[in-house]
Structure 1
């Protein structure tokens, strides 16, 4: 249910449960944490999904059994944020719920035009991960963070681009990933890490 591919220094992790809208189970989250941690030796890591949806968030049955409040979500987003390489979330479709964490923790978010982003914690009665709230607010500002988390709106790709929630909207997702990753793939790992650290400290 988690695909993994290395193409030189470009590593790709794919959520591969399209029959369930790539909803995440505890087993999948555990594997994601391990795969992302392993990507410390990559120059660029891409997170994407198989099918028409990036991820619907937590598997509903497991969410009701406690997955919605599992520390695994925070472990995953923390693992993404800790990487020194360039990290890109390539949204092949809609991004929802707890799956937002890994996207928010990525350096860049690229989206197909049909994708939507929503985080329905108000309706579901769960609190969002605290780091998700901080990252979302840094990206879009407090009012728009409230619009998403408290208003529960579904943000279309173009609106998300205008907010700064995604960084590019494209019909050719992989071509855009390759274009953005090219410079990092040609650089030394410590050079990538140094530039990323300077930006994060700014």
Structure 2
């Protein structure tokens, strides 16, 4: 359910559960967190996070969410691992991003999305709290009022508005999504891991 291409400096992690809108199970989240940590140890310089099909991720698998996954610490473990990765992390969003899946994307350095993507995080409606680091990362990107619109107002944001707000950094045609992400990673991939990490530390 997770595709892992760990070839040298670039690691590509793909959510592969399109028949379930790439909804996330505990096993998938644990595999992602473990792989990101391994990429860091093994000197990867860039990670590309994407999905298969027309949805990036609908969030937690509903059955597992009801059984406790919605409030499990594994979400925070994954986003923390991504945030701590010393190289460049790019979320190439092949479609809609919803719920807890937003945490891993907020932790990335760059977010690209296809024109049809939508963004929402319905924790208020579902009666859950967001994962601990998500509100601060969201507010840092789009401001506190807009973060509350999403988290408390249940707002569903389309790609153009997400770009205007700063939630995503570029809208890219579906067929050019991977190519654009790779082009943005090219300079980092050509650098040494130490150089990439040093530059990343300079950016708050």
TM-score (ref. length: structure 2): 0.96
Shift of 1:7: 3.6
Separation (CA, whole Å) in 2 of partners of 1:68 and 1:76: 14
Q: CA RMSD in A?
A: 0.7
Q: Which residue of 2 aligns with 1:27?
A: 27
What's the counterpart of residue 195 of structure 2? 191
Match of residue 159 from structure 2: 157
1:10 aligns with 2:10: yes
Tell me how far apart the structure 1 counterparts of residues 12 and 19 of structure 2 sit (CA, whole Å). Answer: 20
Match among 73, 76, 81 for residue 74 of structure 1: 76
In the alignment, what sits opposite 1:131? 133
Structure 1 segments of 4+ aligned residues over 2 angstroms from their partners: none
Partner of 1:179: 183
Unaligned runs of 5+ residues in structure 2 are none
1:29-108 counterparts in 2 under 5 A? 29-40=29-40, 41-108=43-110
**What is the aligned partner in structure 2 of residue 143 from structure 1?**
145
Counterpart Cα distance in 1 of 2:69 and 2:155: 23
Shift of 1:175: 1.4
Deviation per residue, 1:66-121 (Å, 9 max, x gap): 10000000000000000001000110000000000000000010001110111000
Q: For residues 169 and 187 of structure 2, what CA distance do their matches in structure 1 show? A: 17
State the alpha-carbon separation in 2 of the partners of residues 79 and 99 from structure 1.
14
Gaps of 5+ in 1: none
Deviations 1:107-155 (A, max 9, x none): 0100011101110001100000120001000000001001111111111
- Structure 2 distance, partners of 1:92, 1:39, is 23
Structure 2 Cα separation of the partners of residues 32 and 130 of structure 1 = 19
CA shift for structure 1 position 36: 1.0
Q: Distance in 2 between matches of 1:137 and 1:198?
A: 21
Name the SS of the counterpart of 2:135 in structure 1: helix
**How big is the shift at 1:188?**
1.1
Q: CA–CA distance in 1 between the matches of 2:161 and 2:183?
A: 23
SS at 1:45 equivalent: strand
